[in-house]
Structure 1
């Protein structure tokens, strides 16, 4: 019997290459919907897939709200007609005008962004006013990631400074908790509860200043199940669509399946126990220590060294891995791995059926 990942016409795929399995992607989307119950509370982050076709699968599954990290991702979502797009980034410099150009170009998409500093909020508002645009914004809270966002105790002052700006409309709070990645479920739950408590405290403090309910956008993939149980916030997982080795090993409590793989081939047989494949660190995310990829069809193959175009594997007996031998690999971190490819082969019923461009890996599509 074929394993789920086998590609019968794999000779059509040059290597190294990225492969998507749409049936498994669909299964992950449906799984996320089951976890949250109400798809209107699901705001998936497209930084993982960067692909119009995958984003359209989310849209066709009844998901109407999206989150992204770059202007190119935001434009990709405008191209497919996504109704609601949060740029989970505070635009500065040229990014402000690029975002406003998107708003003009894709009027069917409601764009919003983050702010965490009064001076920048004023700069955004000034440009919005010059273009006759009122922009929805979320106050970005630092709930422990210590990367961006304003400290919760200072959020009220920022809200007070932004409210008079006529071209900005505060619609919610954004709290990303990427610092919470504990494998132990109970510890992860405690971390999510603490991040939520910080967000809720700000919410209660500022809500009396608004005549409409504010939105709370919480977390990423590791804490998605925790926030899904709370009915008063939106959840923004991203990795779930493809899954990867890192999350799969760290979070066995999460029911998602790997849906994207790397195809690589043996290009040199070094000796009795070593072969080299064409999967350098230009072809798989390299921020993690080795191993950066695990092979489904031959888990005994152990990466021992890597350079730009090459990966050396230690194997039990190199006679079983001749030149051209195909490995199917699961990257440790799928999100930056996808960004290394300009297209992905699409695999249905064990066959290559086409290719999908990774359109938003570019820093600029049009705007």
Structure 2
């Protein structure tokens, strides 16, 4: 599935029930190779698995020499641990039952080093209390808010929090976490300027921490949009995620990152309700629906259709009155946003050399719970 070619020549596509998520395994491998070649040291890569949520892609990443990972849910933590990953950062602050599940995960997988985020002294106090009771030590990354205003503490306020955390038992400060998902300008120079505008506040925090003896903290920064910028900072771990599959949204926006679109959603025409309308079996349950209707999917083999309506199982498209579409025709859909689209599917069907192989990759971590 290359950005530069049409990827709708699956020879045995008639054997596939739709709607279905299909993945080109070789394109995924090439994307991983491209990522590794885009940074000076593979040890500085900590990819996020929120996009793929599979054992198979995790194993491909491990085969490329990647040893550290980032995730968003406890199920993703468990998936990584079952793959034998040695270092897992859960990019979340555990509140309520999640804290107990985190500790259970740590106890169940002693060969994996787990860490999580914190930005609140209230949460940290509870973490210290429970960890002490359970006889574990929790490794923490301070979640810094550098402008996304979703979670985290401002870098200028983090010094006082870290000093207080130092006094709490059963907690170990391991690093700083920065997610700059608000920076997604198409122009990479604008992205770079915005990163460079906030990064001195992080550097100032690091220097201030050194004065009180807190040194050698890991810094994990960015996602896919800012990966090319943070990859140039020699002491930063980078955590892109979307690169493994890519999608139409990132393909349009971040053209300096020449990853391949490695995942498609296949659908069929199931009805011809009017002379200028067709209906596909591609509803909300099969393609991410958080964007406006005309920005959910791009059809590689029907780029000029218009979008009329969508419901749970159906997508109605506008076409010219003299169209020649027939019931059963295949549509090759490139998702605008691949990450939530993957989470809608139980499994992906694997393609190699333009043929469905009969292999399936289970999207195991689409569930919030595997066993813990």
TM-score range normalised by the length of the shorter chain: over 0.9
Residue 190 of structure 2 corresponds to 187
2:10 is equivalent to residue 20 of structure 1:
no
Q: 1:351: Cα distance to partner?
A: 1.6
Q: Please, which runs of 5 or more residues in structure 2 have no aligned partner?
A: none
Correspondence for 1:356 among 344, 361, 364: 361
Tell me the distance in 2 between the aligned counterparts of 1:247 and 1:128: 40
Residues 175, 199 of structure 1: 8 Å contact kept: no
Residues 343, 356 of structure 1: 8 Å contact kept: yes
Residue 339 of structure 2 corresponds to 335
Name the SS of the counterpart of 1:150 in structure 2.
coil
Deviations 1:46-65 (A, max 9, x none): 01111111111111110011
2:314 is equivalent to residue 326 of structure 1:
no
2:309 is equivalent to residue 305 of structure 1:
yes
| Structure 1 moving runs of 4+ over 6 Å | none
Residue 131 of structure 2 corresponds to 128
Greater mean alpha carbon deviation, residues 353-362 or residues 199-208: 199-208
2:255 is equivalent to residue 245 of structure 1:
no
Residue 281 of structure 1 corresponds to 284
Name the SS of the counterpart of 2:111 in structure 1.
coil
Deviations 1:48-89 (A, max 9, x none): 111111111111110011000100001100110111100000
Residues 318 and 355 of structure 1: CA distance in aligned 2, closer, same or farther (over 3 Å): farther
TM-score w.r.t. length of structure 1? 0.97
Deviations 1:165-186 (A, max 9, x none): 2211101100100110111221
Deviations 1:291-348 (A, max 9, x none): 2100112212232221111111122356422111111111110001111111110111
2:122 is equivalent to residue 119 of structure 1:
yes
Tell me the distance in 2 between the aligned counterparts of 1:71 and 1:41: 23
RMSD: 1.4
2:328 is equivalent to residue 346 of structure 1:
no
Correspondence for 1:139 among 127, 138, 142: 142
Q: Please, which runs of 5 or more residues in structure 1 have no aligned partner?
A: none
Name the SS of the counterpart of 2:211 in structure 1.
helix
Name the SS of the counterpart of 1:113 in structure 2.
strand
Residue 315 of structure 1 corresponds to 319
Q: 1:212: Cα distance to partner?
A: 4.3
Residue 214 of structure 1 corresponds to 217
Tell me the distance in 2 between the aligned counterparts of 1:267 and 1:210: 66
